[in-house]
Amino acid sequence: MGANADHHTSVIEAFNAADWPRYRDLVGDATYFEAATGREASGEDLMQLVMGWRTAFPDLKGTITSSAEAGDTVAQEIRWQGTHSGPLTTPDGELPPTGNSMTVLAALIATYEGDRLVSFRHYFDLLAILTAAGAA
């Protein structure tokens, strides 16, 4: 892997460890976009978004199953696994914990300018998450 793929792997590792100061430092002012929800965030709004996922799925962990780097772009496939044991906030209100486990396959595409992360786009199966949360 190249330096940018290593950096983005560190972002996932910081999320897995719920090391929010390190996560914040690694993402800097990058813009994050969730294709499944349409949410876009950066800075403190991004921190609230990712911590919200950990509130709903406190044991949520991402395992990178493949990674590729070309120029200033990093693409990683990730298997997210966790248990819905906290409230999940949605635009229609809060879904109470179900205790259901989930596995969600996802792709993250990160763009760098030099060694600085400027944006990352997350594509995942929202239906699998909503099914685990009892909403589908």
pLDDT tens string 83-116: 999 999 887 888 899 999 999 999 999 999 999 9
Q: Is 103 helix (H, G, I), strand (E, B) or coil?
A: strand
**Orientation angle between helical segments 20-27 and 3-16, nearest 10 degrees:** 150
Cα–Cα distance, 117 to 48 (Å, whole number): 19
- HSE value, Cβ hemisphere, 13 Å, CA-based, for 15: 27
- Give domain limits for the chain: 3-132
Cα–Cα distance, 10 to 75 (Å, whole number): 14
Confidence of residue 72 (pLDDT cuts 50, 70, 90): very high
Level-2 CATH architecture, domain 3-132:
Roll (3.10)
The percent of residues above 90 in pLDDT, for the chain, comes to 84
Cα–Cα distance, 64 to 41 (Å, whole number): 22
